[in-house]
Amino acid sequence: MIIRKSTPQDINSIMEIYAYARACMKESGNPNQWFDNHPSKALIEADIDAGNSYVCFNESGITAVFYFNIEEEPTYNIIDGQWLNKKTYGVIHRIARGPTGKGAGASAINWCLAQHPNIRIDTHKDNIPMLQLLKRLDFTYCGIIWLKNGDERLAFHLEADC
């Protein structure tokens, strides 16, 4: 699997992947994490413009999409719990795969770890596939954070061996 920065030409494929992911979430008992139009096209375009959107692709085309940046995530400043450390960290958001993207989530997260060994991520309590993936990749549950709109998310952290 190859990972590269997303381009404006990728937007239709990216939005199709998010539509597929929303449908899968609803089917797997997670109808509340991403509502019908989240993430919005405008948000994804802003991610692309900022250089923080990435796609995974193979011979089938684009198979997954995610946000990655080394930054301080404001919603991570208040946590009911404790992060593993206070070092600079990379943030992963909006990770989703399409129907041909089996294994893309792990590939994307491992790629992020290769870029920066200290990663934080959050997810909805009902996102069982993501919770299982984070457990399999040895992320540590650190507590609860709150999004700007007040919604709770489970927060995870992994500091890879350097």
CB 134 within 8 A of CB 153: no
User: pTM of this prediction?
Assistant: 0.94
Tell me: pLDDT of 162 over 60: no
Q: What is the pLDDT of residues 95-154, one digit of tens each?
A: 999 998 889 999 999 999 999 999 999 999 999 999 999 999 999 999 999 999 999 999
- pLDDT tens digits for range 47-79: 999 999 999 998 889 999 999 999 999 999 999
Going 153 to 144 to 114 to 127, the CA torsion angle's sign is: negative
**Distance spanning both ends of the chain, measured CA to CA:** 24
Which domain does 25 fall in, by range?
A: 2-159
Q: For residue 39, what is the domain's CATH number?
A: 3.40.630.30
Cβ-contact 120, 73 below 8 angstroms: yes
Number of domains in the chain: 1
Which two structure tokens, joined as six digits, stand for 19? Answer: 């539509």
Does residue 35 carry a pLDDT above 80?
no
